[in-house]
Amino acid sequence: MKWNKRKLTDRIMSGMSAACVIIAIIPLVSILYTVTINGISAINLDFLTQLPRPVGEPGGGLGNAIQGTFIVVGIACFIGLPIGILSGVYLSEYGNNRFGRFVSFVADILTGTPSIVAGMFAYTFVVLYFKSFSAFAGGVALSVLMIPIVTRTTEESLKLVPGSIKEASLALGIPKWKTTLYIVINTGKSGIITGALLAIARISGETAPLLFTSFGNMFWANGLDKPISTMPVQIYTYAITPFPDWHTKAWAGALVLIVLILVLNIGVRFVTRRKYAM
């Protein structure tokens, strides 16, 4: 009798764990489903290439927001990738000391920075200085979020490079810096690229840091020192209006953004998984 009760508990708890997984997947499925269903009808060539129109006027698109997202993310990469990757190289190859471990720890903590705080930082640091919202300020805000991620992923992927490869190179009389540059980085290349792409996917969807840095713009980008429209901010602006027409645009924008990000994510994982399987 007692044995049965124990077995029953075992079954029930196992079933409940499985149920947790299923319930947790429901929101994901629902999000993907509703974004697709509500967004797909509004997507056409005009939507991807035209400027937004005032409410009530049919047509128009998010062309400038798509352009702006690429520009702002591009600036973030321009600032963030060199700092992130090279500091990661330092931490993995020269960072086995107190300073290195401290930097690594700080980078770890920085990955938890609330994104809106990064936006405030870029506001006080860049916007107040140039006295204008700008694409550049948006890029700075996103790079603050990007750098710690890239630093840590680079460090981790270079640490996976087998010591024997490094020793082989050093034994041939090749100096350490050349070994690092040509052997270690080359071997850990795919890990670095994976980390960079995942960081790009993460920042492309960020809204909060852009609200008061790159701000928004109803026209095409006209310089890095001017406010610029981005997809996430445009989706937010459309979503909180009371106009059904703009809601549809928000869903369509969300679909474009989600496809972009999921392609980056899934693509990266497939590439790396094949790598590890070998």
Supply the minimum distance, in Å, between the C-beta of residue 124 and other proteins: 5
Residue 134 interacts with other proteins (CB under 8 A): yes or no: no
Among 66, 72, 201, 252, binds other proteins (CB under 8 A): 201
Residue 43 interacts with other proteins (CB under 8 A): yes or no: no
Q: From CA 137, how far away is CA 130, in angstroms rounded?
A: 9
Number of Cβ within a 10 Å radius of residue 177: 10
Q: From CA 121, how far away is CA 111, in angstroms rounded?
A: 15
Among 63, 68, 195, 232, binds other proteins (CB under 8 A): 232
CA quadruple 203, 208, 209, 212: dihedral sign:
positive
Stretch that binds other proteins, among 69-77, 165-173, 189-197, 236-244 (CB under 8 A): 236-244
Q: From CA 264, how far away is CA 261, in angstroms rounded?
A: 5
Residue 94 interacts with other proteins (CB under 8 A): yes or no: yes
Supply the minimum distance, in Å, between the C-beta of residue 204 and other proteins: 8
Residue 188 interacts with other proteins (CB under 8 A): yes or no: no
136: tokens are 């550049």
Residue 103 interacts with other proteins (CB under 8 A): yes or no: yes
CA quadruple 150, 151, 157, 158: dihedral sign:
positive
Give the three-class secondary structure for 194: helix
Residue 41 interacts with other proteins (CB under 8 A): yes or no: no
Kindly write out the interface string for residues 244-273 of this chain, putting x where it contacts other proteins by CB under 8 A and - elsewhere.
Answer: ---x--xx--x--xx--xx--xx--x----
Among 1, 17, 163, 278, binds other proteins (CB under 8 A): 17
Residue 215 interacts with other proteins (CB under 8 A): yes or no: yes
Supply the minimum distance, in Å, between the C-beta of residue 127 and other proteins: 10
Kindly write out the interface string for residues 69-88 of this chain, putting x where it contacts other proteins by CB under 8 A and - elsewhere.
Answer: -------------xx--xx-
Half-sphere exposure of 29 (CA within 13 A, CB side): 6
Subset of residues 49 to 68 that bind other proteins, contact rule: CB under 8 A? none
Q: Are 119 and 113 in contact (CB under 8 A)?
A: no
**Burial degree of 30 (CB within 10 A; 0-12, 13-18, 19+):** exposed
Q: From CA 68, how far away is CA 274, in angstroms rounded?
A: 34
Residue 34 interacts with other proteins (CB under 8 A): yes or no: yes
Residue 112 interacts with other proteins (CB under 8 A): yes or no: yes
Stretch that binds other proteins, among 12-20, 45-53, 57-65, 165-173 (CB under 8 A): 12-20
Residue 36 interacts with other proteins (CB under 8 A): yes or no: no
Residue 278 interacts with other proteins (CB under 8 A): yes or no: no
Supply the minimum distance, in Å, between the C-beta of residue 213 and other proteins: 10
Q: From CA 147, how far away is CA 151, in angstroms rounded?
A: 6
Q: Provide the Cα torsion 192, 197, 202, 206; round to 10°.
A: 120
34: tokens are 């509703």
DSSP classification of residue 188: T
How many residues touch other proteins under the rule CB under 8 A: the total is 91
Residue 24 interacts with other proteins (CB under 8 A): yes or no: yes
